[in-house]
Amino acid sequence: MRWIGSASVPFHADPDEPLPLVAFDRPCLFHSAAALDRAGIKWRVAFTSPSLSGLWAAAAAGLGVTVRTSYGLPATVRALDHAACGLPPLPSIPLALHRAASGAPSTPVERLAALIVDSVREAHASAETALA
Residue 42, CA atoms < 13 Å, CB-side half-sphere = 5
Are residues 81 and 128 located together in one domain of the fold?
A: no
Residue 90 lies in a domain: no
Instruction: Count the domains in the chain.
Output: 2
CA-CA distances (angstroms) from residue 112 to 72, 120, 122, 125?
A: 18, 12, 15, 20
Helix (H, G, I), strand (E, B) or coil at 16: coil
Taking only the tens place, the pLDDT of each residue in 17-52 is 999 999 888 766 565 556 788 888 888 889 999 999
User: pTM of this prediction?
Assistant: 0.75
Residue 25 lies in a domain: yes
Are residues 99 and 65 located together in one domain of the fold?
A: no
pLDDT for 5 beyond 90? yes
Number of Cβ atoms within 10 Å of the Cβ of 23 = 21
Long-range contacts of 105-114 (CB under 8 A, 24+ apart): none
Residue 103 domain boundaries = 95-132
Residue 117 lies in a domain: yes
Are residues 78 and 100 located together in one domain of the fold?
A: no
> Tell me, what's the pLDDT at 20?
92
**CATH label of the domain that carries residue 27:** 3.40.190.10
> Tell me, what's the pLDDT at 130?
62
Q: CA-to-CA distance for 51 and 106, rounded, in angstroms? A: 32
| Residue 104 DSSP label | P
Residue 22 lies in a domain: yes
Taking only the tens place, the pLDDT of each residue in 75-132 is 999 999 988 888 888 888 777 888 777 777 788 888 988 898 888 888 777 766 665 5
The dihedral over CA atoms of 71, 62, 7, 117, expressed in degrees to the nearest 10, equals 0
> Tell me, what's the pLDDT at 131?
56
Are residues 63 and 109 located together in one domain of the fold?
A: no
Are residues 17 and 68 located together in one domain of the fold?
A: yes
The dihedral over CA atoms of 94, 23, 44, 80, expressed in degrees to the nearest 10, equals 60
